[in-house]
Amino acid sequence: MSGTKEHRNSIRKNAALNGIRRITATIFPVITMPYILRVLQVENVGIYQFSSSVVSYFLLIAALGISTYAIREGAGLREDREKISRFSNEVFALNLMSTAAAYALLGILLVTVPKFHELRTAILLFSIEIFFTTLGVEWIYQINEDYTFITIRSILFQLISLVLMFLFVRSESDLYVYIVITVVASVGANVINFAFSKKYFDIRTGREYFAAWRKHIRPVLIIFSSNVAITIYVSLDILMLGFMTDNYTVGLYTTASKIYTIIKNLMSAVLIVTIPRFSMLAQRGDAEEFNATFRRAFRTILTLLLPASTGVIFLGKEITYLAGGKEYLPGAADLAILGAAIVFSLFAFLYTQCVLIPYHHEKIILCATSISAVSNVLLNLILIPVLRDRAAAITTVIAEAVTCIIAYVFSRRYVRVSGIARELLSVAAGCAAIAGICVLMKSLIGGMFPRTAAAVALSVLAYALILLVFKNETLRELMRPVLRRLAGSK
């Protein structure tokens, strides 16, 4: 019983630390985005995002699904220094091989694809991140649930990049300066990661570790294939817009997409810290505690996610204006549409990463994400010539929904969520109140900033009060430690 309580406290602590990291990762873009969007202008933002999107595929090739695999398999080895060191060195050696392959392929495409050749400077600058991301071995910190180190390091380099940005990015001509600053922040964080990774495993690069790739490659490739499919339906729309439209359209859509990603990443902070715990419980065969942990994660996501999504849908125009100014308002509808995708994306993440991966069902995830990716590409080919950036937003919602539904169907044999009728009702009532408040503020207040501030403040207050009236279990759990401390201080 005490062990279970300790696990819960550990999860809460890790979730809090990861939440802090995600909040700061959200706050910094919130600070920098309006500045960058206005300084660089729509077309340069399009070049930046297109080039970053291109490199993200080679980052994916270099990563090869190793992080997910390492966290799942390493969670059960972390108490044995010798075993975790051998496993980590074998996985790291495989990662170095996949990184070399990624650079080779990138070099070929830079020469043969005209669009890539045209933007080669930006793409090459971003490509520096590929090697240093591999060097960063962040998965070893996640295996050991060391979110304190990850959080401190993350905040430090975000601060450095923020200062550098305001010092050196002053006009449209500073596009490449901004890319260098972005890369430097990533490189620095990963160098620090590598330097301190000796705390958890003995780093060696002997021939025997490179020769061990065969025993890891099959599960890694299945996870990699799923990650490719996910990236296709999440990011390929930016590449397709770049090839089928122009940099201006890419700039409009990627602004909405970036805001959507910020919100989604913040919400996923609650789930990411539970993945090693889910893997450990699955390996132990502790189905009861696995289901209890899942139920808590489900309720938390339900309570936090749906109001955030509702706010994005009803305040898409206001958020876009505050982020980038009136030049980006033609893309406001994209953000409102992507607000719905947040819901499907997070629940898909919950079922795939927290249930199917721990139970070794990578093939199901591959099937689900492949279906989503194919449908996304086909729909984009049909709709982008007609709807342009709007098409990319719509197809993202459809793709996320398909993955979510398939993952849910195959996860039901392991997890069941019951007894949450009151929770669902409280969240639905709260979201209805948020929608009503947003619409009312639009009709009563003219200025974008005061309208948004009033809508957010009143929505948070109304939602919290509704949850209290309905005795929402998640809210009560979140408030319990605070109430205990207040009682103790008296």
Query: Do 435 and 452 fall within a single domain?
Result: yes
Question: How would you class 387 by CB atoms within 10 Å of its CB: exposed for 0-12, middle for 13-18, buried for 19 or more?
Answer: middle
Q: What is the pLDDT of residues 94-116, one digit of tens each?
A: 999 999 999 999 999 999 999 89
Please state, in angstroms and rounded to a whole number, the distance separating the CA atoms of residues 14 and 202. Answer: 25
State residue 159's pLDDT score.
87
Please state, in angstroms and rounded to a whole number, the distance separating the CA atoms of residues 484 and 487. Answer: 5
* Sequence-distant (≥ 6) Cβ neighbours of residue 48 within 8 angstroms: 40, 122, 175, 178, 179
Q: What is the 3-state secondary structure (H, E, C) of 136-149?
A: CCHHHHHHCCCHHH
Domain boundary among 400, 418, 436: 418
The answer as to whether 48 is a domain residue is yes
State residue 20's pLDDT score.
66
SS3 state of residue 364: helix
Query: Do 241 and 330 fall within a single domain?
Result: yes
Q: Would you place residue 2 in the very low, low, confident or very high pLDDT band (cuts 50, 70, 90)? A: very low
Tokens of 119: 């933007």
Domain boundary among 375, 394, 418: 418
Q: Would you place residue 4 in the very low, low, confident or very high pLDDT band (cuts 50, 70, 90)? A: very low
DSSP H helical ranges for 64-119? 66-74, 81-112, 114-118
Range of the domain at 464: 419-481
Query: Do 458 and 412 fall within a single domain?
Result: no
Whether the Cβ atoms of residue 254 and residue 239 lie closer than 8 Å to each other: no
State residue 6's pLDDT score.
46
Query: Do 472 and 408 fall within a single domain?
Result: no
State residue 130's pLDDT score.
94
The answer as to whether 487 is a domain residue is no
Please state, in angstroms and rounded to a whole number, the distance separating the CA atoms of residues 284 and 3. Answer: 14
The answer as to whether 490 is a domain residue is no
Query: Do 456 and 393 fall within a single domain?
Result: no
State residue 1's pLDDT score.
41
Q: What is the pLDDT of residues 278-299, one digit of tens each?
A: 877 887 888 888 888 888 888 8
User: Would you give the DSSP letter of residue 420?
Assistant: -
- Is the predicted pLDDT of residue 12 greater than 60, yes or no? no
Mean of pLDDT over the chain: 83
State residue 484's pLDDT score.
59
Query: Do 278 and 426 fall within a single domain?
Result: no
- Is the predicted pLDDT of residue 269 greater than 90, yes or no? no
State residue 100's pLDDT score.
95
Query: Do 75 and 28 fall within a single domain?
Result: yes
Query: Do 337 and 429 fall within a single domain?
Result: no
State residue 489's pLDDT score.
52
State residue 256's pLDDT score.
84
State residue 5's pLDDT score.
45
Whether the Cβ atoms of residue 359 and residue 416 lie closer than 8 Å to each other: no
Please state, in angstroms and rounded to a whole number, the distance separating the CA atoms of residues 234 and 345. Answer: 10
Q: What is the pLDDT of residues 427-470, one digit of tens each?
A: 999 999 999 999 999 888 888 889 999 999 999 999 999 998 88
The pLDDT of 133-138, averaged and rounded, is 89
Whether the Cβ atoms of residue 341 and residue 396 lie closer than 8 Å to each other: yes
Query: Do 426 and 404 fall within a single domain?
Result: no
- Is the predicted pLDDT of residue 306 greater than 60, yes or no? yes
DSSP H helical ranges for 388-420? 389-411
φ/ψ region of 388 (left if φ > 0, alpha if ψ in -120 to 50, else beta) reads: left
Name the nearest CA neighbour of 237 among 431, 383, 42, 29.
383
The answer as to whether 488 is a domain residue is no
Position with higher pLDDT, 377 vs 15: 377
The pLDDT of 389-416, averaged and rounded, is 90
The answer as to whether 145 is a domain residue is yes
State residue 137 phi and psi, 5-degree precision: 35, 50
Q: pTM above 0.85?
A: no
Whether the Cβ atoms of residue 475 and residue 464 lie closer than 8 Å to each other: yes
Tokens of 244: 């089928």
Query: Do 361 and 277 fall within a single domain?
Result: yes
Query: Do 266 and 411 fall within a single domain?
Result: yes
The answer as to whether 25 is a domain residue is yes
The answer as to whether 234 is a domain residue is yes
User: Would you give the DSSP letter of residue 355?
Assistant: I
Domain boundary among 370, 396, 418: 418
The residue length of the chain stands at: 490
Position with higher pLDDT, 101 vs 189: 101
* Sequence-distant (≥ 6) Cβ neighbours of residue 412 within 8 angstroms: none
What is the tally of structural domains in the chain? 2
- Is the predicted pLDDT of residue 3 greater than 60, yes or no? no
SS3 state of residue 15: helix
Query: Do 177 and 231 fall within a single domain?
Result: yes
State residue 429's pLDDT score.
94
The answer as to whether 486 is a domain residue is no
